[in-house]
Structure 1
Amino acid sequence: MSFSNLSRLSREQPLRMLLVLAGEADTLTWAGLVQPLRLAARSVGVRFELDIRSPQQVAEAPPGGWHVALLVADEQQAESPPAQLRLVAERLRSAPYWGGVGAGVLWLAEAGMMGGVRIALPWALYADTEGITERAILTPHLFEIDGPHLSCCGGSASADFALTLIDALYGANVQAEVKEALCIDRVRSHEERQRVALQARFGALQPKLSEAVTLMEANIEEPLSTDDIANLVGLSRRQLERLFKQYLGSLPSRYYLELRLQRARQLLLETNSSIVQVGLMCGFSSGSHFSTAFGTLFGNTPREERQRKLNG
Structure 2
Amino acid sequence: MAERTQQQARSGETRIWRFDIILCEGFVLTEFSALVEVLRIANRVLAQPPFVWTLRSAAGGQVGCRAGLRADTEPMPKRTDADFAFFLGNSDPDHPGLADARAISSYTSRGTKVYLLAEAAARYIRDQGGGGGRLTTHWENSTLLRERLGLSDASHALASEDGQLVTCAGMNATLDVVLALVGRLTSAAAQVAVSDILLHERVRDLGSLQPFAGVRPTVTGDRDLDHCIRVMQDNIEEPVPISDLVAQLDISTRSLERKFRSYLGTTPNGFYREMRLSRANNLLLNTSMSVREIGFACGFPNGFSTLYRQVFGITPLTLRKRRRPSSATGSKNEGAAE
- Shorter-chain TM-score bucket reads 0.5 to 0.7
Q: How many residue pairs get matched? A: 211
Partner of 1:54: 57
Structure 2, gaps ≥5 residues long: 1-7, 61-73, 228-254, 273-338
Matching of residue 88 in structure 1 with residue 103 in structure 2: yes
Q: Which amino acid aligns with 1:78?
A: P
Structure 2 SS opposite 1:29 = helix
Tell me, yes or no, if the aligned pair for 1:59 and 1:91 is still in contact at 8 Å. no
Q: Which whole-Å CA distance do the structure 1 matches of 2:219 and 2:189 have between them? A: 28
Tell me, yes or no, if the aligned pair for 1:59 and 1:84 is still in contact at 8 Å. no
| Alignment TM-score, normalising by the size of structure 1 | 0.55
1:79, CA displacement in angstroms?
Answer: 2.2
Q: Which amino acid aligns with 1:122?
A: H
1:137, CA displacement in angstroms?
Answer: 5.3
Structure with greater helix share of residues: 1
Structure of larger gyration radius: 2
1:100, CA displacement in angstroms?
Answer: 0.3
Tell me, yes or no, if the aligned pair for 2:22 and 2:55 is still in contact at 8 Å. yes
Matching of residue 193 in structure 1 with residue 204 in structure 2: no
Q: Which amino acid aligns with 1:35?
A: E
Tell me, yes or no, if the aligned pair for 1:21 and 1:72 is still in contact at 8 Å. yes
Tell me, yes or no, if the aligned pair for 1:71 and 1:104 is still in contact at 8 Å. yes
Partner of 2:140: 124
Higher RCO, 1 or 2 (CA under 8 Å, sep at least 6)? 2
Structure 2 SS opposite 1:190 = coil
Structure 1 runs (4+) greater than 6 angstroms displaced: 266-271
Q: Which whole-Å CA distance do the structure 2 matches of 1:42 and 1:263 have between them? A: 30
Partner of 2:19: 17
1:61-140 map, 5 Å: 61-74=77-90, 76-82=91-97, 85-93=100-108, 94-112=110-128, 118-129=134-145, 138-140=154-156
Structure 1 SS opposite 2:21 = strand
1:159, CA displacement in angstroms?
Answer: 0.5
Residues 87-110 of structure 1, C-alpha deviation per residue, up to 9 Å, x if partnerless? 322333234311301111112223
Of 38, 41, 45, the residue aligned with 1:39 is 41
1:197, CA displacement in angstroms?
Answer: 2.0
1:147, CA displacement in angstroms?
Answer: 1.7
Tell me, yes or no, if the aligned pair for 2:157 and 2:209 is still in contact at 8 Å. yes
Structure 1 SS opposite 2:59 = helix
Structure 1, gaps ≥5 residues long: 1-9, 199-213, 218-258, 272-299
Q: Which whole-Å CA distance do the structure 2 matches of 1:71 and 1:42 have between them? A: 24
1:187, CA displacement in angstroms?
Answer: 0.7
Residues 194-223 of structure 1, C-alpha deviation per residue, up to 9 Å, x if partnerless? 00127xxxxxxxxxxxxxxx9xx9xxxxxx
User: CA RMSD of the aligned region, Å?
Assistant: 4.1
Residues 136-167 of structure 1, C-alpha deviation per residue, up to 9 Å, x if partnerless? 95211111222211121011111111100100
Q: Which amino acid aligns with 1:79?
A: D
